Structure 1
Amino acid sequence: MAVRKLVTVVEEIHQEGGRAVEPAARIAVVAAVIDNPWAGQGFVEDLAPGIEATASDVGALLAPRVLEALGAPAEAYGKAAIVGLDGEVEHGSALIHTLKFGDHFRRAASATTLLPAVEKRAAAGTVFDIPLKHITDATIRSHHQSVEVRLADAPHPGEIVVALAAAAQGRPQQRLAPLSSEQ
């Protein structure tokens, strides 16, 4: 796995709706800009060798970094793969929609739910939103949120941006009734 760069973003929200958020709401994102393991090969029927060579390594790289950047236990999490224009959306999906990738984050965050994801093919500088859900119960509405990310110079055409996001809490000032109240 060839990593061109790592980007870490930490957002702290101190005020929402005109009211203080105590403690500040924290969301962290760590993104790796890596070479697309299938770039320049034309259509690749069997993606398994590239998955085997890359998915676990990128998951192991990102999971501890995003939790360290968050600086608190994660309550919500998500993932992203943004494929450069010379690749296919399937290339990003192949890396992040495997237990070889996701289980690193699940174990590190003591999580049990599936990681919500976004994947797309795009030019460098595209904006993408990483969806977040609660780490153990995806029906907890307060933790349904997203974080916007943009890397000015990535992905290059033969690269993939792979990112993990974690939040230390649900949305600031959330006040929706639990899903169970509607059943």
Structure 2
Amino acid sequence: MADVVVRKFVVSVDEIFHEGGPVVGTPLRRASVLAVIENPFAGAYVEDISFFMDDLKPLGLEMARRLIDALGGDPAVVEGYGKGAIVGSAGELEHAALWHNPGGYSMRELLGDARAIVPSTKKVGGPGTRLDVPITHINASYVRSHFDAVEVGIGDAPRANEMVLALAMTTGPRVHARVGGLKASEIKGEDGLR
């Protein structure tokens, strides 16, 4: 067991009214929450790191709650989600992989019946590194209108011995989605894909 030491949180919400086309009545909201934490494995190769996923579960739940609150407090408005991590230079990519379960399952738990896998991305980088967090529909990964990304990053993180953990949610499709494919109204809900 390792302590999860948080240096700071950053929450961001975009409201998008148009992308050059007609103004929509209800803006698309895309939100992210980032946590800068100490990397307990920085600076050395550690064989057994998987236990840290359990240590990260409470943080995942707290971040997912913060994200839902940033979108107005009602989990029912969330239609898209994704996750990611940036590991500082004294760490390794596998440390970012520790965020897969606690980040994804925390959002799915708070959103209720979310069936689709939570898409993810990760990288190693220094302060100011940007990350494009992929977004898909919460119940069917093949809903093309919800394919999106939320760019995240913090000017002073991650430091060499830190990680930036990210969760992102959206309230709907891209504002002017019109490239066809499976529609949200056509989701069968059988397998998390369609």
TM-score exceeds 0.5: yes
Structure 1 runs of 4+ aligned residues shifted over 6 Å read none
Deviation of 1:102 after TM superposition, in Å, equals 2.1
Query: Normalized against structure 2, the TM-score is what?
Result: 0.86
Structure-to-structure mapping, 1:100-111, within 5 angstroms: 100-110=102-112, 111=114
- 1:40-76, CA deviations, whole angstroms, 9 ceiling, x for partnerless residues? 3x111111232232x2122112111111112252100
Compare the two structures and name the one with the higher strand fraction. 1
Query: Normalized against structure 1, the TM-score is what?
Result: 0.91
Report % sequence identity: 40
Conservation of the 8 A alpha-carbon contact between 1:38 and 1:50: no
The residue number in structure 2 matching 1:130 is 133
Conservation of the 8 A alpha-carbon contact between 2:37 and 2:163: yes
SS at match of 2:40: coil
Structure-to-structure mapping, 1:73-112, within 5 angstroms: 73-94=77-98, 96-98=99-101, 100-110=102-112, 111-112=114-115
2:142 pairs with one of 139, 157, 168: 139
The residue number in structure 1 matching 2:36 is 33
Could you tell me which runs of 5 or more consecutive residues in structure 1 were left unpaired when the two chains were aligned.
none
1:168 pairs with one of 131, 152, 171: 171
C-alpha separation in 2, matches of 1:77 and 1:63: 10
Conservation of the 8 A alpha-carbon contact between 2:17 and 2:23: yes
Deviation of 1:97 after TM superposition, in Å, equals 1.8
Deviation of 1:108 after TM superposition, in Å, equals 1.1
Q: 1:101 to 1:150 in 2, by over 3 A?
A: closer
Q: Which amino acid aligns with 1:132?
A: I
The residue number in structure 2 matching 1:21 is 24
Deviation of 1:149 after TM superposition, in Å, equals 1.4
- 1:76-120, CA deviations, whole angstroms, 9 ceiling, x for partnerless residues? 0000110001000100112x222x442211021221111101100
